[in-house]
Structure 1
Amino acid sequence: MSTQNPMQEIPEQESLQLLTQKDVGRLVFRVGDDIEIFPINYHADGRELTFRSAPGTKLAGSIIAGRAIFEVDDIGEDEVWSVIVRGSVRLLDTAAEISAAEELELQPLVPTVKRFFVRLDVDEVSGRRFHRGPEPEPDVEPTD
């Protein structure tokens, strides 16, 4: 990657792998005319992203919306990357799903009780990596 091409697409498999390296990102969904965004901690495994929730806007809204976007990123000294996934959202409700989710290392970020497990089943993945550096000189001089 160079300053001539400071942005690079990240292949899908690498993007999914990068999701597993972090545990906090942003969940975005739309209900009616309102767009909601929530920071969440999560567990990623392949094309499944699981998070916990208490009753409220995040839980009800994400289930009503049925689809969501999730974004996670990392800002380093030399590069920045961002992964965005899209997919359907569903409440885990079978005993087997809940039992498996309870085994994940997925604790609330704040000391609250979050008894519901929600799954985002990923069907679209995109990732980008950006080279950090000074702003280049413009190619064209401004005119008066």
Structure 2
Amino acid sequence: MDDIKDPVIVLEAAECWQRLGSRTVGRIVTRVGDVVDIFPVNYAVDGESLVLRTAEGNKLAELMVSNQVLFEVDDHDDAIAWSVVVRGTARRLETEAEIAAADALPLKPMVPTVKRNYVRITSESISGRLFALGEEPPRDGVQAY
């Protein structure tokens, strides 16, 4: 990463979607009243939305009470790290056509349990950052602006 001058680079939306499409596991954040939860989920990118499957339970119940969510995916190696966050609206898929389209996506449960519920997260905004990893710079002396 010697060619990167700034250790933090803002990713364009297209690169954010590309990075989301390169992974299959992320985290969905829900909020109901004062309760905030985060759940690991597997997912698939479908255009500029995300689709996941879930069983009955807290995650689905929370999504039905408050459909505003955050979705985050990240990765790293020895040289770089990145993170992409989608702010969006979650909606349970209801029609046969919606479910059939979701079934055609490369989306299989991680855990061998029945997950009959499909949820689509429609993006309202997407942001991402790329981080060049390395040693902390000296804390004393003149700092670059």
User: In structure 1, what is the Cα distance between the partners aligned to 2:47 and 2:67?
Assistant: 20
Partner in structure 2 of residue 27 of structure 1: 28
Q: Which residue in the other structure is 2:84 paired with?
A: 83
Q: Which residue of 1 aligns with 2:10?
A: 9
Tell me how far 1:20 sits from its aligned partner: 0.3
Aligned residue type for 1:16: W
Give me the whole-angstrom Cα distance separating, in 2, the residues matched to 1:40 and 1:102. Answer: 16
CA distance in 2, matches of 1:59, 1:109: 17
What secondary structure does 2:99 align onto? helix
- Counterpart mapping for 1:66-77 below 5 A: 66-77=67-78
Cα deviation 1:87-118 (Å, max 9, x = unaligned) = 11100001110011111111111111000100
| Partner amino acid, structure 2, of 1:87 | G
Segments of 4+ moved more than 4 angstroms: none
Aligned to 1:65: 66
Q: Which residue of 1 aligns with 2:134?
A: 133
Using structure 2 for the length normalisation, give the TM-score.
0.92
Partner of residue 104, structure 1: 105
Superposed CA RMSD in Å reads: 1.2
Structure 1, unaligned runs of 5 or more: none
Could you say what secondary structure the match of 1:28 adopts?
strand
Aligned to 2:52: 51
8 Å Cα contact 1:25-1:71 kept in structure 2? yes
Cα separation, 1, equivalents of 2:138 and 2:96? 60
The letter of the residue matching 1:79 is I
What is the Cα deviation at residue 29 of structure 1? 1.1
The CA distance in 2 between the partners of 1:137 and 1:62, in whole Å, is 45
TM-score, reference length from structure 1:
0.93
- Count of paired positions: 139
Asked whether the 8 Å contact 1:47–1:123 carries over to 2, the reply is: no
Q: Secondary structure at the match of 2:85?
A: strand
Residue pair 1:48, 1:121 contacting (<8 A) in 2 also: yes
